[in-house]
Amino acid sequence: MTTTFTAAALLAILGTTCAQAQQAFPARLTAHAQLPGATFVPAPEGAGAHYNVSGRFTGAEGRVTDLYSEVQAANGLALPFPGQPLQGFSGIRSLGDGRFLVLTDNGFGTKANSSDVILMVNIVRPDWDSGRVAIERTIRLSDPDQKVPFPIMNEATPGRFLTGADFDLESIQPVGDGYWLGDEFGPWLIRVNGAGEVQTVVATEPGGTLLRAPDNAFVAAPNPGAALPEEVVVFRSGGYEGMALSEDGQTLYPLLEKPVWDAAADAPETVDGVPVLRLFELDAQTGAFSDRVRYYPLEAPDHAIGDFNLIGGTRGLIIERDNGQGDPREGWAETPAAFKRIYLVDLERLDENGVLEKIAYLDLMQIEDPDGIAPRGTIDGIFTFPFVTIENVDRVDDSQIVVANDNNYPFSVGRAQGQADDNEIMLLDVRDFLMAE
Amino acid 176: pLDDT: 95
Could you give phi then psi for residue 433, rounded to 5 degrees?
Answer: -60, -45
Residue 2 lies in a domain: no
Tally of helices (H runs) and strands (E runs) in the chain? 2, 34
CA–CA separation, 141 and 164 (whole Å):
11
17 vs 114, residue with greater confidence:
114
Confidence at residue 100, expressed as pLDDT on a 0 to 100 scale = 98
pLDDT range class, residue 222, cuts 50, 70, 90: confident
Amino acid 65: pLDDT: 62
Single pTM value for the model: 0.93
Q: Is residue 324 part of a domain?
A: yes
**What's the confidence (pLDDT) of residue 7?**
40
Q: If you average pLDDT over residues 355-377, what whole number do you get?
A: 98
Average pLDDT taken over every residue of the chain: 92
Residue 319 in any domain: the answer is yes
C-alpha distances in Å from residue 360, one per residue of 21, 145, 336: 9, 45, 24
- pLDDT cut 70: percent of the chain above it: 94
309-352: per-residue pLDDT in tens? Answer: 999 999 999 999 999 999 999 999 999 999 999 999 999 999 99
pLDDT at 25 over 50: yes
Among the listed residues 314, 165, 172, the one whose alpha carbon sits nearest the alpha carbon of residue 242: 172
Length of the chain as a residue count = 437
Identify whether the C-beta of residue 191 lies closer than 8 Å to the C-beta of residue 179.
yes
Local structure of residue 434 (DSSP, 8 states): H
Q: d(Cα 11, Cα 294) in Å, to the nearest integer?
A: 25
Report whether pLDDT(98) > 80: yes
Alpha-carbon separation of residue 119 from 34, 154, 264, 422 (angstroms): 21, 12, 37, 19
Residue 112 lies in domain: 7-434
Pairing mode of beta strands 251-256, 282-283: antiparallel
Q: Is residue 1 domain-resident?
A: no
Give how many domains the chain has, as a whole number. 1
